[in-house]
Structure 1
Amino acid sequence: MAEPYHLFVGGYGGCIYTLEFTPPSQGKKATLTETRPSSGGEGSTVVKSAGAAPTWLTLSSDRAYLYATDEWNEPQGLLTAYKVDPKTLALKKLSTVSSLGMWPCHSSLLEHTHPRKFVSTNYKGSSIVVHQVKEDGDFDSEVETVVHSLAERGTPGPHSWRQTQQHPHEAHVDRTAKVLVVSDLGTDDLRVYLISPSGTLTHHVDVALTPSSGPRHVAFSPPTVSRSTLYVLNELSNSVSVFRVTYADNEASTPSFELLQDSISTLPDAPKGTQSPFERWHASEIKVHPSGKWLYIANRAEDHDPLNGTKEGENDSVAIFPIDIDTGKVEPKGRKLIDCGGRGPRHFAFSTESKRERKGGDGEEDLWVAIAVHDSDEVVLSKVKEEDGTWEEMARLDGLGRPGIALWV
């Protein structure tokens, strides 16, 4: 029998859910269920103490601590730390601190520094914030929090209403764990920081993108590929930019970025059925296949409405690009579009991102992808086909509070 996987799911409904996915095995179909449903409360597997909109979740590598960002608290967002029960995965709240800015939308845990640091991006607050983390996983309230304000840097892009100010959307740690890349949707550039052994961030370089691109998220080529390549998802232009990353020495102290490809469209030839015009499409997530062979980008065909999305209408798509392993470039002519399983895919992740050591058995050689389909209010589990990288749906679960992230445990 296949060993089950688990996921934490957060979103705009004010809850964190714990799901169990059991792959198909011995003639039985795959299942996706909510573990120990309850009405909430301390220790429950349905947690309601993470604020109004826990839209991003970060799990420590030992699976001992989970961190949630509350995007909607006013006037400043909130960050909550949880202790994860190793057996039941129930979450025990440790503390909640301010994000020191509005709309925290992404976070990363720096585990290779001493002490550990927690980095969050305030989309509307135009800042990157660094909290110190204690040995017990909680935020260290006795140490001053460091705020890197972006309000005075760069020039907002030309987009009439999405680029009126700086909008850091992601703080992504590279595969060396020594470089932090912050994508600024408001200024059409990437702000690159060096991470010191103590967790101090030092600005290194800004990487410019085409005006009105609106960079949202980035993805690096996996460790299985010798050449380091950075792929940038541009939300406003629904496109991909590709950079070769070169490190000057073994310490990864001075990475440089060379543009290889730009403005590669993720869109189909035309909207279908009831889908909106392309100017209302907003690409949302980007991932590289663990083998490095394919690049995936999720397309959203509607304006993002956190609370009032609907299942009605055409499903959205995921664009798949073949990658030339030798150069890191994507092959635009080889692009495929597949059904994501619903409307409004805000996040997706591969099962290789699970931090759990698995025992092997039926289905262990298979690769799975979890898609948080926000407007449809569902999480969809699909199998990734080895031969061409496309997906085949296995299971789904609805009623999950407008999911914004599906995180493998």
Structure 2
Amino acid sequence: MSPAHRIYVGSYTDAIYTLEFHPSPPGSDSPTLALLGKTHVGQNPSWIAQHPSDNSLVFTGLEQENGEIAVIKYGEEAEGAVVARARSGGSDPCSLLATEDELLIGNYSSGTLATLPISTEPPFVLTPTPWTLSFPFERPGPNKARQASSHPHQTIFSTIDTTSAEKELLVPDLGADKIWRLKKGSDSRWAICGYVQCESGGGPRHVATCGKTLYTLLELTSQLSVHPFPPIDMSPPQKSLSTLQTPPPAPHAMTTAEILLPETNATFSEPYIYVSNRDDPSPEGDTVAIFSLANGEAEPELVTEVRTGLKHLRGMYFGGKDNKWLIAGGTEGGGVKVFERVQGGKDLRVVASLGADVIPKPASFLWA
């Protein structure tokens, strides 16, 4: 019998929701998904991140003009307690990354990276005032409505050069059409050391890596961009593939949101990239596009598009043994659904769900 899993859900409400997913509940052959409770934290806790060594600590960014960070401590109860708050160092924090002693924050509207020193013991946030770095911005992009300024959309460590003790931070900037590359200087502060140039008007949102290849999700053009990842002083060639099997004529209102590339394991030995498409006009809802890397890491191939029944499919996250399960949510309809990876990861099938009346406006997920 598989154990039950606790899942946290960030949202565009005032709460983080706690769910329980049971792959094989007693007395039933069908997986179940249930709401256990919710923790009220403030306006729009859209992104959530867990401490790497203490999974009882969850950080969230309150996506608002005066950006704020909240720290939630969970115990055995489904409802957590807010144990610390701090400023985010900008407006609309939309991405968080927690290390042992530092929280990295991407502030979307103000174009800033911020850091806060953190601890697993009280007071949890060691200073209320974050250090900040503003990203350079040369000129508005082709998409005037979305690219009038810098918009950092993710903070993620590169996994490409694992031999170096020096970590490299990647920050896709939707407004600047760049992926900023940062390393820590002698003053222990993050500094820009280069960038990867994306196609004009693409709007890089999130990235993933495999081997020596960088995959970038271009939100504004619904494309997956492939870069052989270069040394700092090189501008790599690139190519882009549509995330849609049948792209609608341009211009269209569809965009992309999330890209996931789970590590291979005994159950899923072949690598696949999973991308969420948003705002599909189909009554069957948005799709998850699945790319195979069978032809090599530099040659992704779109092999499956899975209709989800979700509207504005924003966040999704893998979890469970061997990352067998994918949870996804529709911010504008459809609620939350759990999918099982089938055919070795080439396809998905829905196994459990909760409606939007139970989980409104889901935006991000964590498997506790």
Shorter-chain TM-score: which interval? 0.7 to 0.9
Quick one: distance in 2 between partners of 1:373 and 1:173?
A: 27
SS of residue in 2 equivalent to 1:374: strand
Residue aligning to 1:346:
314
Q: 1:165 to 1:134 in 2, by over 3 A?
A: same
Residue aligning to 1:375:
332
Structure 1 residue 99: deviation in Å?
A: 1.2
Quick one: distance in 1 between partners of 2:89 and 2:217?
A: 27
Residue identity matched to 2:42 = G
SS of residue in 2 equivalent to 1:170: coil
- Specify which structure has the higher proportion of strand: 2
Task: Write the mapping of 1:86-235 to structure 2, written as runs, cut at 5 A.
Answer: 87-111=76-100, 116-136=101-121, 138-141=124-127, 145-150=130-135, 152-175=136-159, 176=162, 178-195=167-184, 200-221=189-210, 227-235=211-219
CA contact (8 A) 1:110 1:199 kept: no
- Asked whether 1:313 is paired with 2:303, we answer no
Quick one: distance in 1 between partners of 2:319 and 2:245?
A: 27
Residue aligning to 1:406:
365
SS of residue in 2 equivalent to 1:387: helix
CA contact (8 A) 2:280 2:286 kept: no
CA contact (8 A) 1:165 1:186 kept: yes
Structure 1 residue 377: deviation in Å?
A: 4.9
> How high is the TM-score relative to the length of structure 1?
0.80
Residue aligning to 2:18:
18
Structure 1 residue 90: deviation in Å?
A: 3.5
SS of residue in 1 equivalent to 2:179: strand
CA contact (8 A) 2:113 2:132 kept: yes
Structure 1 residue 162: deviation in Å?
A: 0.8
Quick one: distance in 1 between partners of 2:334 and 2:233?
A: 41
Residue aligning to 2:271:
293
> How high is the TM-score relative to the length of structure 2?
0.88
- Asked whether 1:47 is paired with 2:39, we answer yes
1:36-73: CA deviation from partner (whole Å, max 9, x where unpaired): xxxxxxxxx4111x21100000011230310011102x
Structure 1 residue 366: deviation in Å?
A: 6.8
Structure 1 residue 186: deviation in Å?
A: 0.3
Q: 1:127 to 1:365 in 2, by over 3 A?
A: closer
Residue identity matched to 1:98 = R
Structure 1 residue 256: deviation in Å?
A: 6.7
Structure 1 residue 341: deviation in Å?
A: 3.4
- Asked whether 1:328 is paired with 2:297, we answer yes
Structure 1 residue 244: deviation in Å?
A: 2.5
CA contact (8 A) 2:139 2:148 kept: no
CA contact (8 A) 1:179 1:194 kept: yes
SS of residue in 2 equivalent to 1:285: strand
1:134-182: CA deviation from partner (whole Å, max 9, x where unpaired): 341611126x5211012x4333311121111111111112235811100
Structure 1 residue 202: deviation in Å?
A: 2.1
Quick one: distance in 2 between partners of 1:121 and 1:3?
A: 35
CA contact (8 A) 1:245 1:256 kept: no
Quick one: distance in 2 between partners of 1:380 and 1:256?
A: 43
Residue aligning to 2:9:
9
Structure 1 residue 261: deviation in Å?
A: 4.0
Quick one: distance in 1 between partners of 2:252 and 2:188?
A: 40
Q: 1:343 to 1:197 in 2, by over 3 A?
A: farther
CA contact (8 A) 2:179 2:196 kept: yes
Quick one: distance in 2 between partners of 1:117 and 1:108?
A: 8
CA RMSD after TM alignment: 2.5
- Asked whether 1:59 is paired with 2:50, we answer yes
Structure 1 residue 219: deviation in Å?
A: 1.1
Structure 1 residue 245: deviation in Å?
A: 2.9
CA contact (8 A) 2:304 2:346 kept: no
SS of residue in 1 equivalent to 2:138: coil
1:82-129: CA deviation from partner (whole Å, max 9, x where unpaired): 2221x3354121121111211111110122xxxx11111111111111
Percent identity, aligned pairs only, is: 25
Residue identity matched to 1:390 = D
CA contact (8 A) 1:51 1:78 kept: no
Quick one: distance in 2 between partners of 1:278 and 1:383?
A: 34
Task: Write the mapping of 1:218-297 to structure 2, written as runs, cut at 5 A.
Answer: 218-221=207-210, 227-245=211-229, 259=236, 261-270=238-247, 279-291=252-264, 293-297=271-275
Quick one: distance in 2 between partners of 1:366 and 1:108?
A: 20
Q: 1:365 to 1:386 in 2, by over 3 A?
A: farther
Residue identity matched to 2:246 = D
Residue identity matched to 2:335 = E
Q: 1:93 to 1:140 in 2, by over 3 A?
A: same
Quick one: distance in 1 between partners of 2:174 and 2:222?
A: 12
Quick one: distance in 1 between partners of 2:299 and 2:156?
A: 21
Name which of structure 1's ranges 195-204 and 12-21 shifts more when overlaid on structure 2: 195-204
Residue identity matched to 1:5 = H
- Asked whether 1:78 is paired with 2:64, we answer no
Q: 1:135 to 1:301 in 2, by over 3 A?
A: closer
CA contact (8 A) 2:32 2:352 kept: yes
